[in-house]
Amino acid sequence: MITTIAFDADDTLWHTERIFISTKDKYKQLLADYHDGDWIERHLDETETNNIKHFGYGIKGFTLSMIETACELSEGRITGDKIKQIIEFAREMIAAPIEVLEGVRETIEELSKDYRLMVITKGDLLDQETKLARSGLGDYFDGFEIVPRKDAKIYKYVMRRHALSPEEFLMVGNSLKSDILPVIEAGARAVFVPYETEWFHERVTDEELIGKKFGRIEKMSELSDWLKNEENRI
């Protein structure tokens, strides 16, 4: 029976992708003299994909990719002032107000009465910690785990660390690749809550989903009902 519910953070509890999307828009405007927006975005995505193994996830790595792409697309003609503006984008992203997703606060508050709640997220520790604090949700969570990646081994490690059996663990998140499939592989249950946009690093193929059993809700406020269904819970 489920005793513990773990939530992904970015785009599950609060909006993150929006901040990246609006930063990308500003970035494309900044470089509009050199190339059109689509071309810039395609190159930025490529640089980001190549850099993830060096720089990991998060705003700082993304910023280094923006700078690198700017140097490349301008064939080295980018000005120092524009580079400084890109660094300013990073500071703005880090300081951006946290917008909690609709229905999240009420759901978390309600579930915290009956379940142990945790956050399991990738990203920079400092960044995620201040986001949790600024979200005002911090007090509802008993555990906060920043993980370098989300695979079955990591989920098993987190469960072991909190002395949880897979039967009592439920993961909730917006990424099939990170929040759902590896949790099923680790023997626990998962509920998928799609976000308004899908992150291109996190796509999975239909084949990977064949035979995989997991819950799916359209928004967080449906989670309480999902848990009231005894078939899901026990």
Binding test (CB under 8 A) with a copy of itself, winner from 29, 148, 153, 212: 148
Stretch that binds a copy of itself, among 2-10, 35-43, 77-85, 167-175 (CB under 8 A): 77-85
- Report the distance separating Cα 59 and Cα 94, nearest Å: 7
Which of these, 122, 123, 173, lies nearest to 13 by C-alpha position? 173
| Rounded least distance, CB 22 to a copy of itself, Å | 18
The answer to whether 185 contacts a copy of itself (rule: CB under 8 A) is: no
Size of the site for a copy of itself (CB under 8 A): 35
87, 114, 136, 167: which one binds a copy of itself (CB under 8 A): 87
Q: Is 48 in the site for a copy of itself (CB under 8 A)?
A: no
CB of 86 to a copy of itself, least distance (A): 9
Residues 6+ apart with CB under 8 A from 63: 86, 87, 89, 90, 93
| Choice between 73 and 191, CB closer to a copy of itself | 73
Shortest distance (Å) from residue 175 CB to a copy of itself:
18
Rule CB under 8 A: say whether 90 interacts with a copy of itself: yes
Q: Which of residues 109-128 bind a copy of itself (CB under 8 A)?
A: 124-127
Q: Is 2 one of the binding residues for a copy of itself (CB under 8 A)? A: no
Q: Which 8-state DSSP code applies to residue 148?
A: S
- Selected binder of a copy of itself within 37, 56, 103, 166 (CB under 8 A): 56
| Secondary structure (H, E, C), 5-72 | EEECCECCCECCHHHHHHHHHHHHHHCCCCCCHHHHHHHHHHHHHHHHHHHCCCHHHHHHHHHHHHHH
- Main-chain phi, psi angles of 69, to 5 degrees: -65, -40
- Burial of 152-171, coded b for 16+ CB within 10 Å and e otherwise, reads eebbbebbeebebeeebbbb
Can you tell me which residue has the tokens 């609060």? 14
Could you say whether residue 55 binds a copy of itself (CB under 8 A)? Answer: yes
Name the site residues for a copy of itself (rule: CB under 8 A). 54-56, 60-61, 63-64, 67-68, 70-72, 74-81, 83-84, 87, 90-91, 94-95, 124-127, 129, 146-148
